A and B are shown apart, each in its own frame.
Chain A
């Protein structure tokens, strides 16, 4: 049965009508027309659907909309835009850290949470922090460089 939910997405209050079991992923993509979070596996194994929930990287494919409550949800779009990218997003462009790019949502969102918690992570911290997100093109080394570059940027800034 459909219910109405008020959610805090990218700093705005939005209201959606959906079945309470609907995973947040589909609310974001289908109802709110956001492209960042992607369907990858639906069972929290790959990280393509990552969003920030109160600053923590979580898989939106297994989070029912009814469990979101007042949590602040930030998607890739909420981190920055192509016109005004966050330094982390810019670091991906600068390191050319993508091939197909489908996993980039999970990578950027997970790295954002990581860098918010650890101001100067070393290479092993970054590997560890990013381990939950899968990439199939083998772009890992560039992604690590991008995150490291962004860590350096935020330190300087």
Chain B
């Protein structure tokens, strides 16, 4: 090549070579399988398919390769939360090998176990536990082999970076890989292998850096968006102008003659264009959009009446109810009631959702940043009436996820379009306004709280009424949850969201309260909803921890002291005290600082998190500034303290953005939050200083931490605003005009 890039033909081998560089330390795309017959003669071997083996096989999770490396296999997906590194650390630790020997394969129906969704902050707790056990089991088997080979009792052997040695005699040694001599470990996980004593950990608990960040900072092929397969074409989907609109006509003739256009696809109200180049697809989409005619769907009810409409639902399910709650509330010395609201929020990933799909020789291959490759496979099989064994779904990192966003939908788009252009990988990326207006949102919620105090200022009874739409409409095998499927000529009906446990997540206070009632009222709202980071816990904790503050004021007690008095859980107390100390809570009374604090244990079973916020309010300028957030987290045994801090800092800042700025808006026909102007998020100028203190408990099991910060941060900010302004802000987002107009 001289001085020009002039469109080199895409070459599978060069792609592999390039991505091969990334395979050091972390396996990016095990790409070879997209062409099982290796047409171009590339001999790069692909893994056999152990994922089909049972989850109780060591080999499903841990594999030692002949070249002296270790491959960790997880059904979970890297979503920016850093699980690759954390899971590799756990495996390397139990196996006693160096980190640079370890790579990882993530969510891929061809080769990883079915671990459903990467969600609920459960990757370390579930996949991590399995990998740790499998690694310990592998080590035990290898030591048994070494015992035979070296003639030294297993308890007289030590392992250094995969080399088994007789204690005190390094001459008598053999490596794991020599022991296996190319064979795989075929044993089952017995559950009897001893786990390492945390006191002996070398890697777990260390801030091992994520190696892929340098790739991100230099333009490496990191994201599904960056994949370029041979013969790849680009598609764009014409989305409805609003929910439920049906397509009447499109300028098919004209658009199909536009430069580069390969197909104009129409199936009922689903329409799309496929073109050679990406911008040609976008131009064709614009042309379709300009002339398409639609019949509008049902009108949306007025947004300003949303919360009243929600509270009209009388039907409800008591998820917690003590017999005496009614009496307790009626006889309390002081009874207080307040209602909190949260609007619809969106995931709003920086990169609109993207997927590639290839239909070839009666098989469909999909590359996706979905949170659940196996459930997606089942849903797509349902949509296309294929056998799921005809479909491979390969997880590739995407832009930040934060829950059920457009990832599955765009994969369905790509699958449909690949069927119409056999032999060509079809790449679909959503446009920004598609992502903003079609992704499933975190549901709006109304929380009505009531609590009674006794004459000593102790809470005697607590009642929470929750109104919320579903926080879980993932396509767990049903095509009806996939956007495209709802608009086909023979449409799949969208299953009703129904009752969802996410609605009352964290509604039940962890405090020791004698009488509690929690009632969840299911509401079917105007907008599409599903899982957004922390689900209902965000608003439930915002309400509960704001209300604790209100009760503290009524009891004339310091909010921190008031909480500690009601909390027997020592780990809860410890994070509260650490966050308070971190922000300088003792100065609160003197200086009239705008300090607030809040706390929760995520799901009442995962990580403990407390956070203190400092705000400043300029009355004249009506300007609110969030100055500082100090969080304290106890996630049990910390696998990677820097990864944990990174996730938690991110959670705090993201929650601050939801809390101070964000709400999805809509008019009577469509969502009107369609870009970053109409759905602003926090920018650098507004970002607070953040600090995270990690309370490591190496001797205890690790606890899921990725969503712990969302709820407490919202309440800590609201509590700090109350302290600074005297105004109790119960309606999110907390904007300066709402503070001004609040008469409390």
Contact = CB atoms under 8 A, between A and B. Distances in A.
Interface of A: 2, 9, 12-16, 18-19, 22-23, 26, 29-36, 38-43, 45-46, 48, 75-77, 79-82, 85, 89-90, 92-94, 96-105, 108, 126-128, 130-131, 133-142, 144
B3, B234, B683, most chain A CB atoms within 10 A: B683
Contact of A102 (B7, B350, B689, B690): B350
A105 B35 CA distance: 31
25 contacts: A2-B259, A15-B4, A16-B7, A26-B282, A32-B5, A41-B676, A45-B676, A76-B219, A81-B218, A82-B215, A85-B214, A90-B214, A96-B209, A99-B80, A100-B399, A102-B398, A104-B216, A108-B217, A126-B684, A127-B684, A136-B654, A138-B652, A139-B646, A140-B682, A142-B646
Question: Closest 6 A-B residue pairs measured CB to CB?
Answer: A138-B653, A100-B80, A101-B216, A36-B219, A138-B650, A100-B400
B685 A33 contact: no
A38 to B, nearest CB: 6
B221 interface: yes
A89 B213 CA distance: 9
Given A42-B432, A100-B399, A137 B3 contact: no
B433 to A, nearest CB: 9
Nearest to B234: A30
Contacts of A93: 209, 213-214, 217
Contacts of A41: 432, 675-676
Contact of A136 (B216, B226, B278, B681): B681
Contacts of A12: 3-5
Contacts of A46: 350, 676
A16 B213 CA distance: 31
B217 A141 contact: no
A80 B218 CA distance: 6
B657 interface: yes
A134 B683 contact: yes
Given A29-B278, A75-B219, A77-B218, A136 B687 contact: no
B219 A45 contact: no
Contact of A35 (B219, B656, B684): B219
Contact of A99 (B226, B234, B646): B646
Interface residues of B, number: 73
A96 B685 contact: no
Interface of B: 3-8, 10, 21, 79-82, 209-210, 212-223, 225-226, 228, 234, 259, 277-280, 282-283, 348-352, 397-402, 429, 431-432, 642, 646-647, 649-654, 656-657, 675-677, 681-685, 687, 689-690
Contact of B218 (A16, A29, A32, A82): A82
Given A33-B228, A138-B651, A19 B432 contact: no
Nearest to A146: B217
Contacts of B225: 38-39
A2 B276 CA distance: 14
A144 B684 contact: yes
A94 B213 CA distance: 9
A96 B646 contact: yes
A140 B684 contact: yes
Given A98-B217, A137-B654, A141-B687, 18 more contacts: A12-B4, A13-B4, A14-B4, A30-B279, A31-B5, A35-B219, A43-B675, A93-B209, A96-B642, A98-B80, A100-B399, A101-B223, A102-B398, A104-B213, A126-B684, A131-B685, A138-B657, A140-B682
Contacts of A134: 350, 676, 681, 683
B349 A102 contact: yes
Contacts of A127: 684-685, 687
Contacts of B4: 12-15
B529 to A, nearest CB: 19
A95 to B, nearest CB: 9
A37 to B, nearest CB: 8
Nearest to B277: A30
Contacts of A90: 214, 217
Given A93-B213, A139-B650, A99 B81 contact: yes
B279 A19 contact: yes
Contact of A140 (B220, B226, B279, B687): B687
Contacts of A42: 431-432
B611 to A, nearest CB: 13
Contacts of B647: 99
